[in-house]
Structure 1
Amino acid sequence: MLRNILLTGAATALVASATPASAQDLTVPDYPETRSGDVVDEQFGEQVADPYRWLENDVRVDSEVADWVERQNEVTNAFLDRLPGREKLQARITQLTDYERFGLPTEKGERYFYTRNDGLQNQSVLYVRDGLDGEPRVLIDPNTWADDGATALADYAITEDGSKLLYAIQDGGSDWRTVKVMDVATGEVMDDTIEWVKFSNLDWAKDGSGFYYSRFPATGEGETFQALNTNQQVYFHRLGTEQAQDGLIYETPEQPELNHTAQVSDDGRWLIVTSSSGTDDRYEVTLIDLEDESATPRVLVPGFDNNYSYVGNSGDAFYFVTNDGAPLKKVVKTDVSAAEPEWTTVIPEREETLGGVSLVGGHLVASYLKDAKSLIEVFALDGTPVRQVALPGIGSAGGFGGSPDESETFYSFSSYNRPSTVYRYDVETGESEVWAQPEVAFNPHDFVVEQKFYTSKDGTRVPMFLVRSKAVAQSGDAAPTLLYGYGGFNISLTPGFSPSRLAWIEAGGAYAVANIRGGGEYGKAWHDGGRLDNKQNVFDDFIAAGEYLIAEGITPEDGLAIQGGSNGGLLVGAVTNQRPDLFAAGNAAVGVMDMLRFDQFTAGRYWVDDYGYPSKEADWRVLRSYSPYHNVKDGVDYPALLVTTADTDDRVVPGHSFKYTAALQAAELGERPQLIRIETRAGHGSGKPTDKAIEEASDILAFLAAFTGLDLSE
């Protein structure tokens, strides 16, 4: 996840007067003073000090927090500006980022809609073509929405006839969305405006009369970016009316913790409401008959025991992906016209982990993970295998959306050494052709992508991707290595292209991605093995990855840097506390750092599925044992740490990173620095402008290079 800093007048002066320094000169600077409060919580018979509780306050509201942020940024910016090779690195990352990028096309009413970035545009532009080979026409250019480029096009949906465009606006990186409507033929933005939308699907009624969306109640004064998200409701908005007139379709006031998203079935007959209580893929599925206003909503999948994700329908036959009795997932179907629907298996569970499935052109296209690499297979609707889609190598394929009645679909393929190429695919014939392929400022064949396996502390076999230049790989020499991890929420780390990581590799470094437990690479068991009271397995797996890289001579003992974002930021904080001797440097980005209070803010309450409840003693004791904020080891030499966050992060509120940094800076941790870089007008990662992303990546990688011995001057 990408996460820059606020440059005040004072900070700019520091930049102007700074001169590059050698790594030996980059010792601990004079940290800004941080007030230590006297907050102490008694939990389960233990006194837990929280001296920096005041840093949880919203930086936009609390002037003391705002002053602390400004002072931290001044010190950090002055330090970062002295990093050797940073400007050269930024120039190269800019070159590597400057390539044409296309989103996957969507066809509606013989019009094709897709996003395109010419290379260095801060936000991708939405285009439309009349016919596949028609002349591209700009529909929405978000680059005109804000001078700083921080307002993004977050999502869009098109009516079946291609005449109306529904789109969501994201400002400053926030999770909140404003929804608008455009007439595709004229480009006119209509008066319809929807607010307070977050974590929502957007879907049109098949006749284009309006659309379905999910929203939360409006927040109180000053609470927009911190208040807990509860009481989500599904509404229908009829075109040409005010939001206040929107019809309430579904809610559960007696269960305010539930989230609800809605989508219209392929035939337009049903609204499918999927409800969840947290981050686990355990859903209740409700059908609402759109042809009978008097019909009572009908629960198709009761309870919250398993994953049931709608794939599509052919008449009354509804297809779902489920892990019910199948930890690696399978495809099932049911007849919704039956009084008592029964489920039958269409595609059985197999040894690979099943991810997404789509119903296109009378076929099921299934995406599998085989040791975290994509494998795509096409099936008939009765589950008969048809063919495997040939992919170019180790990488990630995604897409395959489309219509149940049309055989055309599009997909993308990318890897660590190649950006996304978009392909047009015919599910009937199996023919695949390049639709858009970028020209890049490097030779993909100069790099080697490998998959290694190593053994964790308890004997578990864990996969790892390793990317190096051919020259480094063939030399056999150890190279400064950047190790990345996540390890949570059933999220799989699959191969993908990053200009900044490629610049690191070009400079002579290695890049490794550890597919540690807590992710979804090997299904439910892999996820369960790294959450709740098994969370320590995640840290053990990551530590073992670092030990493996050193033992195998891939990286020198003093040349290992680590990086992770969000739950991965927690990972970096936890393993740094547990094994500060193993790592030379680290970047903890937008991390969850206070594990005793994470559920008090915005979306934090959902994360109890992975972390447990701080209010329950057994869970609290596990959380207390690894919480980064509470386990900083005073008097121990720590690696150099750069904490990164943003003022508008309303997913993992920046107070987590503020408090953690304050704790680091208050302790005696040796001669290497612990700094924080705080971006403004940015959030958890999505929607970040290209220029800010490049600047941030340059700062982070130059910082890590300075303390791992990677020479950026060559």
Structure 2
Amino acid sequence: MTRRSYPPALREETVDELHGTTVPDPYRWLEDPESPATKEWLAAQAELFEAELKRRADFRERIAELLRSGSVGSPVWRGERRFFLRRAPDQEHAVLYTVDPGGEERVLVDPVALDPSGLTTLDSWQPDKEGRLLAYQISVGGDEESNLYVLDVETGERVEGPIDRCRYSPVAWLPGGEAFYYVRRLPPSEVPEGEEQYHRRVYLHRVGTSTDDDVMVFGDGLEKTNYYGVSVSRDGRWLSVSASRGTAPRNDLWIADLSASSPERPALVSVQEGVDAQTALHFGRDGRLYVFTDRDAPRARVCVTDPSRPGFEHWRDLIPEDPEAVLSDFAILDDLDRPVMLVLWTRHAISEITVHDLATGERIGEVPTPGLGTIGGIVERPEGGHEAWFSYTDNTTPPTVQRYDARTGETTLWATSPGAVEVPSVRTEQVVYRSADGTPVRMLVISRPDLEGPRPTILYGYGGFGISMTPGYSASILTWVEAGGVYAIAHLRGGGEEGEEWHRAGMLGNKQNVFDDFHAAAEHLIATGVTTPEMLGISGGSNGGLLVGAALTQRPDLYAAAVCIAPLLDMVRYEKFGLGATWNVEYGSAEIPEEFAWLWSYSPYHHVREGVAYPATLFAVFQNDTRVHPLHAWKMCAALQHAQAADRPILLRNEAEAGHSTRKVSKTVDLTADQLSFLAQHTGLGAALPAEGSSDTA
């Protein structure tokens, strides 16, 4: 077996002693992206990547064609004016539109008009309560460092901004559009070096004034990694503020009556503090306070109380916890003889909506939905009514918007993605398998109905942060399946498919459960004849990249190929880079002996062993990623290239002017084509895609 020649990478004798454990780090020099040695190594890796990868054009063409479906988002109403996102087939980004009360549709924010290079992204937006002003946030090059602007909806002119340091900031308007609450980081000069990404505060800003005059209303002296939420009730009376340490699945929560205290100095009253639960509030038009919580209900419930008595002891169940389905959203329709609450559930990752009496919570019906797919939240008019809107997608349906009329009980198609595409016919099955400890785990298996196994297969997973893997339109999945492969998505512990207990069964000291679930998914696919180890590839990004890194180091015999995207891989030092410190509530901290032991037990970078036959592996990272620094993949790539005993390549795709999340469509096409090409190359997927107009297109 011939060993491949890789770009030279110096192995240094860098070692740390942590809690009595020797921790080697031979490639720590790759943590410095500006060093000449790192730049030289990255340039050589880019040449190797281009020389090794084949077949990209076939996949790129089909992926681009399927993405010509475009997309459309649910409407946000302000009186008779509505706002929504839509991406046309040839557009690089979705565009924000408004429809005037008279029916005229106008562009409000077009990222490409702002920046023809396509590197500017629209991160978030929020109209004021009257629909006259719009706050929106944009960032450049994928860095997610949002600047906040305000524009006049009628004229389209900017009236405010840029306000910097607004990453992940909510915007809560006061009535009249004269002021809003928002979240902003402290200036770098006011925080310790290396902590510039943290130290958020809640401010009140009055439109037309300098941000130097903004009033800090919350957050001073609290945990540096806190994220804050802020909202104001439709009538402007009630302010709510939430705080969570990093991405912890718990929050503290306060409310203030702004009719009894000033917006600059709200008299905040505690709803919950120091409680291991997540809670959110909705101030109803009927004067009741609706409490959405997983407190004493891991699959969530809705309670009611009086806003003047917001404490837990006054909560009364309206929609109790379901033993199987996870409650994820609700909306109130009250322009009816019998007002109702629509409740959105996910049952084993499939969405459904039920109808309940608003006064008693009694279930009185269900909302017709287009199929077994994913519903992305329910939208109502702020002033109430009898209509609701929700987005819908499944494995073969590009995003649509559906309208439900509570007077008739009917659901009708409201808006479709604007592009017409031929989508291949696929079969989706949900299977149940057993993990190493006997826990039943579900998995979606997507394939062509005319082909039987074993077939080249991609197994995808995430398993973290309570995030659910639900069905959705994916050009990547459809392209792979159309070409003859199988695509499987495992609903691993650590995710949210079965509620908060499912999440916690895969976090902190339970993280190995996630990897065991993934290995068991692979073994099930092999045992049932779907695929073989020689035809099985794995894929995941971010926390899912950690999953892939752990999978290929723990069970290199089980997988032929791996694609590892924007991954966390050095779990001993992850807190020191990007937003890592906000995730120690999910993974643990190497500074704490017990938690270090958890991390050390699986940290992929530290479990690479010389002389092992590892799967063919592609690392894909992004130079402007401010969440997960690409150094994780750089170090792991160097370690695997040094250790690899098989004639299977270890490659690095290092992309400039791109970040962790949103990017322009053409960059998505290129990235996806490269991933599928690599996996096809090393799982044996046939070189030719089905001819246009073949029998397996719908």
Same fold per superposition (TM over 0.5): yes
- The AA in structure 1 aligned to 2:398 is P
2:5 and 2:283 mapped to 1: Cα distance? 59
Aligned to 1:442: 422
Q: Is the 8 A contact 1:28 1:673 kept in 2?
A: no
SS at match of 2:400: strand
Identity value in percent: 38
With over 3 angstroms needed to count, the CA separation of the structure-2 counterparts of 1:193 and 1:288, relative to structure 1, is farther
Partner of 2:183: 214
Aligned position for 2:622: 646
**How far apart are 1:404 and its partner, in Å?**
5.3
Residue 164 of structure 1, CA deviation: 0.9
Compared CA separation, residues 556 and 184, structure 1 to 2 (3 A): same
Contact in 2 for aligned 1:192/1:241 (Cα 8 Å): no
Alpha carbons 1:636, 1:670 under 8 Å: kept? yes
Q: CA deviation at 1:29?
A: 5.0
Q: Is the counterpart of residue 423 in structure 1 residue 402 in structure 2?
A: yes
> Does the 8 Å contact 1:329/1:353 carry over to 2?
no
Counterpart selection for 1:655 from 631, 655, 658: 631
What do the CA deviations read for 1:219-276 (whole angstroms, capped 9, x no partner)? Answer: 369999x746332100111111121111111113143332222111233112110110
Deviation of 1:512 (Å)? 0.5
> Does residue 89 of structure 2 align to residue 111 of structure 1?
no
Alignment partners' CA distance in 1, 2:191 and 2:208 = 31
Which of 200, 204, 210 aligns to 2:173? It is: 204
Matched residue of 2:557: which SS?
Answer: coil
Under a length normalisation based on structure 1, what TM-score does the superposition of the two structures give?
0.91
How high is the TM-score relative to the length of structure 2? Answer: 0.93
* CA distance in structure 1 between the aligned counterparts of 2:394 and 2:621, rounded to whole angstroms: 27
Call closer, same or farther: CA 1:547–1:163 in 2, change over 3 Å. Answer: same
Residue 304 of structure 1 and its aligned partner are, at CA, apart by 3.5
In the other structure, the counterpart of 1:696 is 671
Relative contact order (alpha carbons < 8 A, sep ≥ 6): 1 or 2 greater? 1
Indicate the residue corresponding to 1:65 in structure 2. 38
Q: Distance in 2 between matches of 1:217 and 1:529?
A: 35
Does residue 1:400 correspond to 2:361, yes or no?
Answer: no
Q: How does 1:218-617 map to 2 (within 5 A)?
A: 218-219=187-188, 227=195, 229-291=197-259, 292-293=261-262, 296-338=267-309, 342-362=314-334, 363-382=340-359, 383-402=361-380, 403=382, 405-438=384-417, 439-443=419-423, 446-472=425-451, 476-617=452-593
Q: Is the 8 A contact 1:156 1:168 kept in 2?
A: yes
Q: Counterparts of 1:123 and 1:664 in 2: how far apart (Å)? A: 36
SS at match of 1:240: coil
- Provide the C-alpha distance between the structure 2 equivalents of 1:146 and 1:29, rounded to a whole number of angstroms: 42
1:558 is paired with a residue whose SS is helix
Distance in 2, matches of 1:242 and 1:70, equals 45
- Structure 1: how far apart are the matches of 2:310 and 2:5? 72
CA contact (8 A) 1:276 1:304 kept: no
Q: Are the structure 2 counterparts of residues 182 and 594 from structure 1 closer, same or farther at C-alpha, using a change threshold of 3 Å?
A: same
SS at match of 1:470: coil
| Residue 674 (structure 1) aligned to one of 650, 660, 668 | 650
Q: How does 1:51-130 map to 2 (within 5 A)?
A: 51-57=26-32, 59=33, 61-80=34-53, 83=54, 85-130=55-100
| Among 130, 144, 153, the residue aligned to 1:175 | 144
SS at match of 1:48: strand
Shift in Å, 1:356: 2.4
For residues 129 and 410 of structure 2, the distance between their equivalents in structure 1, rounded to whole angstroms, comes to: 26
- Contact map agreement 1:192 1:240 (CA 8 A) in 2: no
Counterpart-to-counterpart distance in 2, 1:477 and 1:665: 32
Give the aligned partner of residue 40 of structure 1: 15
Equivalent pair of 1:28/1:674 in contact (CA under 8 Å): no
The yes-or-no answer on 1:712 pairing with 2:675 is: no
Take 2:512 and 2:28, find their aligned partners in 1: how far apart are those partners?
26
- One-letter identity of the residue aligned with 2:315: W
Matched letter for residue 414 of structure 1: T
Q: CA deviation at 1:123?
A: 1.0
* Counterpart residue type for residue 392 of structure 2: F
Q: Structure 1 residue 214: deviation in Å?
A: 0.6
Cα deviation digits, residues 651-683 of structure 1 (max 9, x gap): 111111111112112213311011111111111
Task: Tell me the number of residue pairs that the alignment of Structure 1 and Structure 2 aligns.
Answer: 677
Distance change (3 Å), C-alpha of 1:109 and 1:553: same
Tell me the distance in 2 between the aligned counterparts of 1:100 and 1:282: 36
Q: Secondary structure at the match of 1:681?
A: coil
Q: Identify which range, 568-577 or 608-617, moves more after superposition.
A: 608-617
1:36-73 Cα shifts (integer Å, max 9, x gaps): 3332110111211112222223x3x4444333323322
CA–CA distance in structure 2, aligned partners of residues 278 and 666 of structure 1? 36
Moved more, 503-512 or 148-157: 148-157
AA at the equivalent of 2:103:
G
CA–CA separation in structure 2 for the residues paired with 1:555 and 1:223: 52
Provide Cα deviations, 1:389-430, integer angstroms capped at 9, x if missing partner. 122222111121222523332111111122111112224443
Mapped to 2, the partners of 1:391 and 1:339 lie a distance apart of 34
- Residues 247 and 211 of structure 1: is their aligned pair in 2 closer, same or farther, counting only changes over 3 Å? same
| Match in the other structure for 2:694 | none
The residue identity in structure 2 corresponding to 1:97 is L
1:320-351, CA deviations, whole angstroms, 9 ceiling, x for partnerless residues? 21111112111112212249661111111112
Whole-angstrom CA distance in 2 between matches of 1:237 and 1:371: 43
Quote the Cα distance in structure 2 between the aligned partners of 1:339 and 1:228.
Answer: 35
Relative to structure 1, is the Cα distance of residues 658 and 222 closer, same or farther in structure 2, using a 3 angstrom cutoff? farther
Which deviates more, 666-675 or 585-594?
Answer: 666-675
Q: Spell out, residue by residue over 1:348-407, the C-alpha distance to the aligned partner (whole angstroms, 9 max, x if none).
A: 111233342233323432211111111111223231223211222221111212225233
Amino acid at match of 1:265: S
> 8 Å contact 1:41–1:47 — kept in the other structure?
yes
Partner of 2:693: none
Structure 1 residues 560 and 385: alpha-carbon distance in aligned structure 2, compared to 1, 3 A threshold: same
Unpaired segments ≥5 residues, structure 1: 1-23
